[in-house]
Amino acid sequence: MTNKLPLKPLALIVMGTLGGCSQFTQLSHSPSPSPVETADSALGADAPERESAAQEDDIVIAEAELDLPPEDVWEVIRAGLTLDTHVDRRAVEQQIAFYSQHQSYLNRVATRATPFMYHIVRELEERDLPTELALLPIVESAFDPFAYSHGRASGLWQFIPSTGTYFGLAQNWWYDGRRDPIAATDAALTYLAQLNRRFDGDWELAVASYNGGGGRVNSAVRRNRQAGKATDFWSLDLPRETEGYVPKLLALAEIVSNPEKYGVSLQSIPNEPYFVSVDPGYQLDISKAAELAGLEESEFRAMNAGYTKWATSPRAHQRVNVPVAVAEQFIQSVSSLPENERIKFERYQIREGDALSLIASRFNTQVDAIRAYNDLRGSSIRAGDYLLIPIPAAPLDYYRSSDWQRLARAQQRGGQGGAYRIDYRVESGDSLWELAREHGVNVSDIARWNNMAPNDPIRLGQELVIWQRTPVQANTRRVSYAVRQGDSLARIAQKFKVSVSDLRRWNSTINGQKYIQPGQSLVIFVDTNNQS
Amino acid at 223: R
The answer to whether residues 264 and 103 touch, using CB atoms and an 8 Å cutoff, is: yes
The answer to whether residues 397 and 405 touch, using CB atoms and an 8 Å cutoff, is: yes
Find the angle CA(107)-CA(109)-CA(113) to the nearest 5 degrees: 115
C-alpha 82/C-alpha 253 separation (Å) is 9
C-alpha 288/C-alpha 310 separation (Å) is 10
Find the angle CA(389)-CA(392)-CA(393) to the nearest 5 degrees: 135
Instruction: Give burial (CB, 10 Å; 0-12/13-18/19+) of 335.
Output: middle
C-alpha 95/C-alpha 170 separation (Å) is 35
C-alpha 389/C-alpha 155 separation (Å) is 30
C-alpha 431/C-alpha 446 separation (Å) is 11
The answer to whether residues 145 and 179 touch, using CB atoms and an 8 Å cutoff, is: yes
Amino acid at 45: A
Q: Rounded to the nearest 5°, which phi and psi values hold at 478?
A: -90, 125
**From 140, 204, 254, 438, the catalytic residue:** 140
C-alpha 528/C-alpha 497 separation (Å) is 10
> If we measure between CA atoms, which residue out of 183, 181, 190, 98 comes closest to residue 144?
181
Amino acid at 166: Y
Asked about 140 being catalytic, the answer comes back as: yes
Amino acid at 217: V
Strand ranges (DSSP E) for 163-272? none
The contacts of residue 269 (CB under 8 Å, 6+ apart) are 72, 73, 74, 110, 113, 114, 117, 118
> If we measure between CA atoms, which residue out of 85, 70, 73, 99 comes closest to residue 267?
73
C-alpha 356/C-alpha 200 separation (Å) is 55
Q: How far apart are the first and last CA of the chain?
A: 81
> Which residues are catalytically annotated?
140
